[in-house]
Homo-oligomer: A and B are copies of this chain.
Amino acid sequence: MMVVTIIGIGLIGGSMALCLREKGLAARVIGVEANADHASRALELGIVDEILPLHEAVSKADLIVVSVPVTAATRVVAEVLNSITKQVVIDVGSTKGELCREADLSPNRGRFVATHPMWGTEFSGPEAATTNAFTGKALVICDRHKSDPDALAMVENMYRLLGMHLLNMEAGMHDIHTAYISHISHITSFALANTVLEKEREEDAIFELASAGFESTVRLAKSNADTWVPVFMQNKENVLDVLNEHITQLRKFKASLEKENWDYLRELIEHANKIKRILK
Protein backbone atom coordinates (compact mmCIF):
# COMPACT_ATOMS: atom_id res chain seq x y z
CA MET A 1 0.00 0.00 0.00
CA MET A 2 1.33 3.39 -1.02
CA VAL A 3 1.04 6.95 0.12
CA VAL A 4 -0.19 8.81 -2.97
CA THR A 5 -0.03 12.56 -3.56
CA ILE A 6 -2.46 13.93 -6.13
CA ILE A 7 -1.68 17.39 -7.50
CA GLY A 8 -4.96 18.81 -8.82
CA ILE A 9 -8.13 17.19 -7.41
CA GLY A 10 -10.50 17.48 -10.33
CA LEU A 11 -12.33 14.92 -12.47
CA ILE A 12 -9.22 12.83 -13.26
CA GLY A 13 -7.11 13.39 -10.14
CA GLY A 14 -10.11 12.89 -7.88
CA SER A 15 -11.19 9.73 -9.69
CA MET A 16 -7.64 8.41 -9.48
CA ALA A 17 -7.68 8.97 -5.70
CA LEU A 18 -11.04 7.20 -5.31
CA CYS A 19 -10.09 4.26 -7.53
CA LEU A 20 -6.64 3.72 -5.98
CA ARG A 21 -8.24 3.66 -2.56
CA GLU A 22 -11.05 1.35 -3.62
CA LYS A 23 -8.60 -1.17 -5.08
CA GLY A 24 -6.56 -1.10 -1.85
CA LEU A 25 -3.57 0.46 -3.62
CA ALA A 26 -3.44 3.72 -1.63
CA ALA A 27 -3.16 3.64 2.15
CA ARG A 28 -3.30 7.41 2.31
CA VAL A 29 -4.06 10.13 -0.24
CA ILE A 30 -2.57 13.61 0.12
CA GLY A 31 -3.99 16.40 -2.03
CA VAL A 32 -2.34 19.50 -3.42
CA GLU A 33 -4.94 21.96 -4.68
CA ALA A 34 -4.62 25.66 -5.47
CA ASN A 35 -8.40 26.22 -5.61
CA ALA A 36 -9.57 26.55 -1.96
CA ASP A 37 -13.16 25.51 -2.75
CA HIS A 38 -11.99 22.39 -4.55
CA ALA A 39 -9.61 21.60 -1.67
CA SER A 40 -12.36 21.74 0.97
CA ARG A 41 -14.83 19.83 -1.24
CA ALA A 42 -12.20 17.11 -1.80
CA LEU A 43 -11.76 16.76 1.98
CA GLU A 44 -15.53 16.74 2.61
CA LEU A 45 -16.08 14.10 -0.05
CA GLY A 46 -13.34 11.90 1.42
CA ILE A 47 -11.35 12.00 -1.81
CA VAL A 48 -8.17 13.04 0.05
CA ASP A 49 -7.10 12.57 3.68
CA GLU A 50 -5.36 15.92 3.93
CA ILE A 51 -4.35 18.93 1.85
CA LEU A 52 -0.68 19.93 2.05
CA PRO A 53 1.64 22.38 0.29
CA LEU A 54 3.41 20.97 -2.76
CA HIS A 55 6.85 20.21 -1.37
CA GLU A 56 5.63 18.66 1.86
CA ALA A 57 3.09 16.54 -0.05
CA VAL A 58 5.76 15.34 -2.47
CA SER A 59 8.25 14.43 0.23
CA LYS A 60 5.70 12.25 2.07
CA ALA A 61 4.53 10.28 -1.00
CA ASP A 62 5.58 7.05 -2.73
CA LEU A 63 3.71 8.05 -5.88
CA ILE A 64 2.96 11.57 -7.13
CA VAL A 65 0.13 12.00 -9.67
CA VAL A 66 0.16 15.30 -11.60
CA SER A 67 -3.41 15.99 -12.76
CA VAL A 68 -3.53 19.73 -13.47
CA PRO A 69 -4.30 21.31 -16.90
CA VAL A 70 -1.61 20.32 -19.40
CA THR A 71 0.22 23.66 -19.67
CA ALA A 72 0.60 23.75 -15.87
CA ALA A 73 1.48 20.03 -15.84
CA THR A 74 4.57 20.67 -17.97
CA ARG A 75 5.88 23.04 -15.31
CA VAL A 76 4.71 21.03 -12.28
CA VAL A 77 6.23 17.74 -13.50
CA ALA A 78 9.60 19.49 -13.96
CA GLU A 79 9.35 21.05 -10.51
CA VAL A 80 8.35 17.79 -8.81
CA LEU A 81 11.13 15.86 -10.55
CA ASN A 82 13.62 18.37 -9.12
CA SER A 83 12.40 17.78 -5.56
CA ILE A 84 12.07 13.97 -5.36
CA THR A 85 14.60 11.38 -4.27
CA LYS A 86 13.38 7.89 -5.26
CA GLN A 87 9.62 8.44 -5.60
CA VAL A 88 7.69 7.79 -8.80
CA VAL A 89 5.94 10.61 -10.68
CA ILE A 90 3.20 10.24 -13.30
CA ASP A 91 1.04 12.67 -15.23
CA VAL A 92 -2.40 11.86 -16.64
CA GLY A 93 -2.77 14.60 -19.28
CA SER A 94 -4.15 14.63 -22.84
CA THR A 95 -0.98 15.95 -24.52
CA LYS A 96 2.51 14.58 -24.19
CA GLY A 97 5.02 16.13 -26.63
CA GLU A 98 5.91 19.31 -24.78
CA LEU A 99 5.62 17.68 -21.36
CA CYS A 100 8.02 14.88 -22.27
CA ARG A 101 10.52 17.26 -23.90
CA GLU A 102 10.57 19.25 -20.65
CA ALA A 103 10.82 16.14 -18.45
CA ASP A 104 13.71 14.84 -20.59
CA LEU A 105 15.82 17.75 -19.29
CA SER A 106 15.56 16.55 -15.68
CA PRO A 107 18.32 14.40 -14.13
CA ASN A 108 15.46 12.45 -12.49
CA ARG A 109 13.71 11.65 -15.83
CA GLY A 110 13.86 7.93 -14.99
CA ARG A 111 11.46 8.36 -12.06
CA PHE A 112 8.78 9.80 -14.38
CA VAL A 113 6.22 7.77 -16.35
CA ALA A 114 4.09 9.69 -18.87
CA THR A 115 0.57 8.19 -18.85
CA HIS A 116 -2.78 9.01 -20.43
CA PRO A 117 -5.84 7.14 -19.18
CA MET A 118 -8.34 7.32 -22.07
CA TRP A 119 -11.30 8.13 -19.85
CA GLY A 120 -13.12 11.34 -19.01
CA THR A 121 -16.53 12.97 -18.87
CA GLU A 122 -17.81 16.44 -19.72
CA PHE A 123 -17.89 17.32 -16.00
CA SER A 124 -15.11 18.83 -13.90
CA GLY A 125 -14.03 19.50 -10.31
CA PRO A 126 -13.90 17.12 -7.30
CA GLU A 127 -17.69 16.53 -7.42
CA ALA A 128 -17.21 14.93 -10.83
CA ALA A 129 -14.76 12.34 -9.47
CA THR A 130 -16.09 8.77 -9.47
CA THR A 131 -15.02 5.20 -8.74
CA ASN A 132 -16.65 4.27 -12.08
CA ALA A 133 -13.58 5.46 -13.96
CA PHE A 134 -10.82 3.80 -15.99
CA THR A 135 -12.02 0.15 -15.90
CA GLY A 136 -11.99 -1.43 -19.35
CA LYS A 137 -10.43 1.67 -20.95
CA ALA A 138 -7.07 2.11 -22.68
CA LEU A 139 -4.03 3.50 -20.87
CA VAL A 140 -1.27 4.94 -23.04
CA ILE A 141 2.30 5.04 -21.73
CA CYS A 142 4.58 7.35 -23.70
CA ASP A 143 8.34 6.93 -24.21
CA ARG A 144 8.47 4.02 -21.76
CA HIS A 145 12.18 3.34 -22.45
CA LYS A 146 12.99 6.63 -20.70
CA SER A 147 11.49 5.45 -17.38
CA ASP A 148 13.43 3.36 -14.83
CA PRO A 149 12.33 -0.30 -14.97
CA ASP A 150 11.15 -0.32 -11.33
CA ALA A 151 9.12 2.89 -11.79
CA LEU A 152 7.56 1.54 -14.99
CA ALA A 153 6.71 -1.81 -13.38
CA MET A 154 5.03 -0.09 -10.43
CA VAL A 155 2.92 2.17 -12.67
CA GLU A 156 1.98 -0.60 -15.11
CA ASN A 157 0.95 -2.84 -12.24
CA MET A 158 -1.16 -0.08 -10.74
CA TYR A 159 -3.05 0.64 -13.99
CA ARG A 160 -3.61 -3.08 -14.60
CA LEU A 161 -5.15 -3.36 -11.14
CA LEU A 162 -7.43 -0.43 -12.10
CA GLY A 163 -8.66 -2.64 -14.97
CA MET A 164 -7.04 -0.75 -17.86
CA HIS A 165 -5.40 -2.26 -20.95
CA LEU A 166 -1.96 -0.84 -21.62
CA LEU A 167 -0.63 0.59 -24.89
CA ASN A 168 2.77 2.08 -25.65
CA MET A 169 3.35 5.07 -27.87
CA GLU A 170 5.97 7.64 -28.71
CA ALA A 171 4.94 11.03 -27.24
CA GLY A 172 4.67 12.81 -30.60
CA MET A 173 2.55 10.04 -32.14
CA HIS A 174 0.31 10.12 -29.08
CA ASP A 175 -0.45 13.80 -29.72
CA ILE A 176 -1.30 13.13 -33.38
CA HIS A 177 -3.64 10.28 -32.46
CA THR A 178 -5.42 12.11 -29.66
CA ALA A 179 -6.01 15.07 -31.99
CA TYR A 180 -8.07 12.69 -34.17
CA ILE A 181 -9.68 10.57 -31.53
CA SER A 182 -10.45 13.09 -28.81
CA HIS A 183 -9.51 16.73 -29.37
CA ILE A 184 -11.45 17.20 -32.62
CA SER A 185 -14.59 15.68 -31.05
CA HIS A 186 -14.50 18.46 -28.48
CA ILE A 187 -14.13 21.16 -31.12
CA THR A 188 -17.01 19.81 -33.20
CA SER A 189 -19.21 19.65 -30.10
CA PHE A 190 -18.30 23.18 -29.01
CA ALA A 191 -18.96 24.48 -32.54
CA LEU A 192 -22.25 22.58 -32.82
CA ALA A 193 -23.41 24.04 -29.50
CA ASN A 194 -22.52 27.53 -30.72
CA THR A 195 -24.35 26.90 -34.02
CA VAL A 196 -27.54 25.96 -32.22
CA LEU A 197 -27.22 28.65 -29.53
CA GLU A 198 -26.89 31.20 -32.35
CA LYS A 199 -30.27 30.03 -33.68
CA GLU A 200 -31.87 29.87 -30.26
CA ARG A 201 -31.72 33.64 -30.00
CA GLU A 202 -34.43 33.72 -32.64
CA GLU A 203 -36.46 30.76 -31.55
CA ASP A 204 -36.90 29.28 -28.07
CA ALA A 205 -39.02 26.29 -28.99
CA ILE A 206 -36.13 24.59 -30.73
CA PHE A 207 -34.84 22.87 -27.60
CA GLU A 208 -38.09 21.15 -26.79
CA LEU A 209 -37.19 18.92 -29.71
CA ALA A 210 -33.67 17.99 -28.61
CA SER A 211 -33.46 14.21 -28.85
CA ALA A 212 -30.86 11.64 -27.93
CA GLY A 213 -28.91 12.15 -31.16
CA PHE A 214 -28.43 15.83 -30.47
CA GLU A 215 -27.48 15.18 -26.86
CA SER A 216 -24.82 12.70 -27.80
CA THR A 217 -23.13 14.94 -30.38
CA VAL A 218 -23.27 18.03 -28.16
CA ARG A 219 -22.55 16.46 -24.75
CA LEU A 220 -18.83 17.30 -24.86
CA ALA A 221 -19.66 21.00 -25.32
CA LYS A 222 -20.17 21.12 -21.57
CA SER A 223 -16.43 20.45 -21.09
CA ASN A 224 -14.56 23.20 -19.28
CA ALA A 225 -12.22 25.79 -20.74
CA ASP A 226 -9.60 25.44 -17.98
CA THR A 227 -8.89 21.90 -19.15
CA TRP A 228 -9.32 22.33 -22.88
CA VAL A 229 -7.68 25.64 -23.77
CA PRO A 230 -4.31 24.24 -22.55
CA VAL A 231 -4.83 21.03 -24.56
CA PHE A 232 -5.44 23.02 -27.74
CA MET A 233 -2.48 25.31 -26.94
CA GLN A 234 -0.13 22.36 -26.60
CA ASN A 235 -1.50 20.37 -29.53
CA LYS A 236 -2.17 23.30 -31.86
CA GLU A 237 -0.50 21.96 -35.01
CA ASN A 238 -2.09 18.51 -34.90
CA VAL A 239 -5.51 19.88 -34.00
CA LEU A 240 -5.32 22.37 -36.88
CA ASP A 241 -4.46 19.54 -39.31
CA VAL A 242 -7.49 17.55 -38.22
CA LEU A 243 -9.76 20.61 -38.12
CA ASN A 244 -8.79 21.50 -41.69
CA GLU A 245 -9.51 17.95 -42.80
CA HIS A 246 -12.84 18.03 -40.95
CA ILE A 247 -13.88 21.30 -42.63
CA THR A 248 -12.93 19.72 -45.99
CA GLN A 249 -15.17 16.74 -45.21
CA LEU A 250 -18.06 19.02 -44.21
CA ARG A 251 -17.64 20.95 -47.47
CA LYS A 252 -18.16 17.70 -49.38
CA PHE A 253 -21.57 17.34 -47.72
CA LYS A 254 -22.29 20.97 -48.51
CA ALA A 255 -21.33 20.48 -52.18
CA SER A 256 -23.47 17.36 -52.50
CA LEU A 257 -26.49 19.27 -51.14
CA GLU A 258 -25.89 22.40 -53.21
CA LYS A 259 -25.52 20.39 -56.41
CA GLU A 260 -28.31 18.00 -55.41
CA ASN A 261 -25.85 15.21 -56.15
CA TRP A 262 -27.68 12.55 -54.12
CA ASP A 263 -25.46 9.71 -55.35
CA TYR A 264 -22.42 11.54 -53.99
CA LEU A 265 -24.25 12.22 -50.70
CA ARG A 266 -25.05 8.51 -50.44
CA GLU A 267 -21.38 7.67 -51.08
CA LEU A 268 -20.27 10.05 -48.32
CA ILE A 269 -22.72 8.52 -45.84
CA GLU A 270 -21.86 4.95 -46.79
CA HIS A 271 -18.17 5.75 -46.39
CA ALA A 272 -18.88 7.16 -42.93
CA ASN A 273 -20.78 3.95 -42.07
CA LYS A 274 -17.41 2.14 -42.21
CA ILE A 275 -16.87 3.50 -38.71
CA LYS A 276 -18.97 0.46 -37.66
CA ARG A 277 -15.82 -1.61 -38.11
CA ILE A 278 -14.29 0.34 -35.27
CA LEU A 279 -17.13 1.26 -32.93
CA LYS A 280 -19.32 -1.50 -31.55
Q: Are B232 and A198 in contact (CB under 8 A)?
A: no
How many copies are assembled?
Answer: 2
- Give chain B residues whose Cβ lies under 8 Å from the Cβ of A239: 257
Q: Give per-residue flags for A178-200: 1 if the beta carbon is below 8 A from chain B beta carbons, else 0.
A: 10111011111111111111111
A256 to chain B, nearest CB (A): 8
A85 touches B (CB below 8 Å): no
Q: Give per-residue flags for A187-216: 1 if the beta carbon is below 8 A from chain B beta carbons, else 0.
A: 111111111111110010111111111111
Q: How far apart sit A252 and B187, CA to CA, in the bound complex (Å)? A: 10
Q: Give per-residue flags for A201-236: 1 if the beta carbon is below 8 A from chain B beta carbons, else 0.
A: 001011111111111111111111100110011001
Partner of A269, one of B185, B225, B268: B225
Chain B CB count within 10 A is highest, among A137, A209, A228, A275, for: A275
Chain B CB count within 10 A is highest, among A119, A192, A242, A252, for: A192
| CB closest chain-B residue, reference A254 | B243
A168 to chain B, nearest CB (A): 10
Q: How far apart sit A254 and B245, CA to CA, in the bound complex (Å)? A: 11
Q: Are A240 and B225 in contact (CB under 8 A)?
A: no
Given contacts A138-B211, A232-B265, 8 further A-B contacts (CB under 8 A): A138-B208, A181-B210, A185-B192, A187-B250, A221-B275, A225-B269, A240-B257, A247-B250
A and B contact pairs by CB, cutoff 8 A, 22 listed: A119-B212, A120-B213, A167-B209, A177-B203, A180-B195, A181-B207, A181-B209, A181-B214, A182-B211, A182-B214, A184-B192, A191-B272, A195-B249, A199-B245, A213-B220, A216-B217, A218-B275, A229-B262, A240-B254, A240-B257, A246-B250, A247-B254
